[in-house]
């Protein structure tokens, strides 16, 4: 039986679209992109909370082959990223392959037919030769299981489901969470509210944000002379790369940089908050780099406002009209904002059930063994399958580096498969093990294992205490590797 599709891609964010662009370049036109949401763009469609913006300079946060000269700011607002995603989908003719509101349940490898069967809630299953999951890392919202939360009588908004029609003006609001999302959101909404109470479990490092509008003449220059934007990208990427390699990956050798960054964040806090007790509460007690740091010039000063309160007493329970902390004090609220992030390790790896050869369940296998994926894209016993949001896949910083590395990997892999006259590939267990050993060893020097991270509660760590997201190599090394990995790390049939 010939499968219905050459490839099914799950997810229409930048990862899924990058895979689709690459597959089309490779001559596969019979593609299906299945998307859970009602529109494309992944993170940048789902997240629409006030203050949303990139936290990697926009020149770097885009496909290198599709620069956008018209970013309005150094750190573009989220709506511009969504528009950029729409532009990419149109230009590369991807929309025709997309089906929205399609919740993929799972995928099963058929060894006889050498294809995948993909099951979709409320629709007929589809068959495909190749399967790509591009479901993102931060795509399963974490809704905290706080006692009494279901009894809350007011409005609850998770930041991934922002309700634009709900007027926050004059409301008494609680925000739970102080991660990157909260750092962007809190300064935006605070001036609108009667009272804002921020429930902080773990403080976050916040460094100054070197943001600003990109003047129109510069945008025109980028459009007319793309090399100028490429130069800006190179300069930005190099600086990020230096930080990433030294402060994160080589913490053992270069932790002076982490201490320097923490000193900058402390000085930032000192300049912006005069109350020593408030400063103490806002100062993290773990090393800079254990958790993704944030950038903001407006987060700390927000806590100086008379209508904003920082609560560090742990939440005991939620009642219909307020939140009670462990000390017994109650704050009355009418709106509860959950800036509580995402669940990566229970529900996201993988985001759908994937059953490979011999009935092997990817999620079960990862949990019973270790989370692993060769070069962050493929897994033994899972033929013709590429998993983009994988353990040890993320090159750090701009996610587009990871996407383009994976696109390059696909090009080499499919090229080798065709050369072998085959249409099935599967990574060998030996190559997979060698990659796992290599990343494990390299991560040994990183801030995650050498730093003081116990109190960071960082989502970089999984349930076994392993920091299994980051691919611990330089961007250059990752790119080189994607273009030169031994093609016999795969078997072809
Ligand atoms: P996050 O970093 O995981 O932060 C979630 C926050 O909620 C943490 O402060 C966490 O406290 C708190 N929390 C969770 N469950 C809780 C509970 N039961 N009780 C009390 N507090 C609870 O999530 P995020 O802020 O959404 O950011 C996630 C990632 O998204 C970022 O690291 C970044 O990579 C990305 N992001 C990027 C941008 C951007 O590029 N512009 C913007 C936003 C987010 P603990 O720390 O104590 O667990």
Domain ranges of the chain: 5-40+94-140+344-492
pLDDT at residue 367, as a whole number: 95
What pLDDT band is residue 244 in, cutting at 50, 70 and 90?
confident
- Ligand 1 centroid–CA 479 distance in Å is 29
Q: What is the pLDDT of residues 343-361, one digit of tens each?
A: 999 989 999 999 999 999 9
Q: Is the CB of 339 under 6 A from ligand 1?
A: yes
Q: Indicate if the pLDDT at residue 247 is higher than 90.
A: no
Is residue 245 pLDDT above 90, yes or no?
no
Task: Tell me: pLDDT of 149 over 90.
Answer: yes
Burial 137-173 (b: 16+ CB within 10 A, else e): bbbbbbeeebeebeebebeebbbbebeeeeebeebbb
Residue 242's pLDDT band, with cuts at 50, 70 and 90, is confident
Asked if 22 and 16 touch (Cβ cutoff 8 Å), the reply is no
Region 403-416: what's the mean pLDDT?
98
Residue nearest to atom 17 of ligand 1 (CA): 144
- What tens digit of pLDDT does each residue of 420-468 get? 999 999 999 999 999 999 999 999 999 999 999 999 999 999 999 999 9
pLDDT greater than 90 at residue 329: yes
Rounded to an integer, the average pLDDT of 403-411 is 98
Label residue 241 by pLDDT band (50, 70, 90): confident
Å from CA of 317 to ligand 1 middle: 20
Q: Residue 1: its pLDDT value, please?
A: 81
Residue 252 CA to ligand 1 center (angstroms) comes to 26
Does 48 contact ligand 1 (Cβ within 6 A)?
Answer: no
397 C-alpha vs ligand 1 centroid, how far in Å?
Answer: 16
Instruction: From 82, 442, 47, select the one nearest 244 (Cα to Cα).
Output: 442
The reported pLDDT for the residue numbered 254 is 85
Percentage above 70 pLDDT, the chain: 100
Q: Which CATH architecture has domain 5-40+94-140+344-492?
A: 3-Layer(bba) Sandwich (3.50)
Backbone dihedral angles phi then psi of residue 156, each to the nearest 5 degrees: -110, 130
From 80, 182, 201, mutation site for ligand 1 pocket: most ligand atoms within 8 A of C-beta? 201
Compute the distance from residue 457 Cα to the ligand 1 centre, in Å.
10
Instruction: Report the atom number in ligand 1 closest to the C-alpha of 201.
Output: 47
């Amino acid at each position: 039986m010939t499968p219905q599709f050459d490839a099914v891609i799950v997810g229409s964010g930048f990862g899924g679209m990058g895979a689709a662009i690459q597959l089309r370049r490779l001559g596969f036109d019979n593609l299906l992109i299945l998307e859970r949401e009602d529109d494309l763009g992944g993170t940048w469609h789902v997240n629409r909370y006030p203050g949303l913006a990139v936290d990697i300079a926009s020149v770097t946060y885009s496909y290198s082959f599709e620069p956008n000269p018209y970013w309005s700011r150094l750190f573009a607002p989220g709506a511009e990223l969504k528009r950029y995603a729409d532009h990419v989908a149109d230009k590369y003719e991807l929309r025709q392959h997309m089906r929205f509101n399609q919740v993929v349940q799972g995928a099963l490898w058929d060894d006889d037919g050498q294809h995948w069967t993909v099951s979709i809630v409320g629709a007929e299953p589809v068959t495909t030769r190749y399967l790509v999951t591009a479901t993102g890392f931060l795509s399963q919202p974490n809704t905290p299981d706080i006692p009494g939360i279901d009894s809350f009588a007011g409005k609850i908004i998770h930041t991934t489901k922002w309700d634009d029609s709900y007027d926050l003006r004059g409301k008494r609001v609680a925000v739970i969470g102080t991660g990157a999302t909260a750092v962007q959101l809190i300064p935006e909404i605070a001036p609108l509210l009667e009272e804002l109470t921020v429930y902080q479990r773990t403080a976050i490092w916040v460094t100054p944000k070197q943001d600003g509008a990109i003047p129109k003449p510069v945008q025109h220059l980028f459009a007319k002379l793309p090399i100028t934007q490429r130069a800006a990208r190179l300069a930005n990427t190099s600086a990020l790369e230096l930080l990433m390699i030294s402060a994160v990956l080589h913490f053992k050798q270069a932790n002076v940089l982490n201490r320097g960054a923490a000193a900058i964040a402390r000085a930032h806090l000192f300049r912006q908050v005069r109350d020593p007790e408030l400063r103490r509460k806002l100062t993290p007690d773990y090393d800079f780099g254990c958790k993704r740091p944030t950038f903001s010039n407006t987060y700390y000063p927000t806590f100086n406002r008379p209508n904003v309160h920082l609560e560090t007493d742990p939440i005991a329970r939620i009642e219909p009209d307020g939140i009670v902390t462990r000390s017994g004090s109650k704050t009355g609220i009418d709106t509860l904002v959950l800036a509580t992030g995402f669940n990566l390790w229970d529900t996201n790896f993988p985001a759908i059930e994937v059953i490979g050869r011999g009935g092997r369940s990817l999620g079960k296998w990862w949990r019973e063994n270790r989370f692993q994926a060769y070069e962050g894209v493929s897994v033994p016993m899972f033929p013709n399958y590429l998993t983009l949001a994988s353990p040890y896949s993320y090159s750090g910083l701009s996610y587009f580096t990871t996407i383009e590395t994976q696109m390059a990997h696909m090009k080499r892999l499919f090229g080798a498969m065709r050369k072998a006259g085959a249409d099935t590939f599967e990574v060998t267990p030996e190559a997979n093990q060698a990659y796992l050993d290599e990343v494990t060893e390299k991560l040994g020097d990183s801030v995650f294992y050498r730093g003081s991270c116990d109190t960071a509660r960082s989502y970089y760590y999984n349930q076994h205490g392993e920091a299994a997201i980051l691919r611990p190599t330089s961007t250059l090394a990752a790119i080189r590797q994607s273009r030169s990995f031994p093609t016999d790390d795969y078997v072809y049939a």
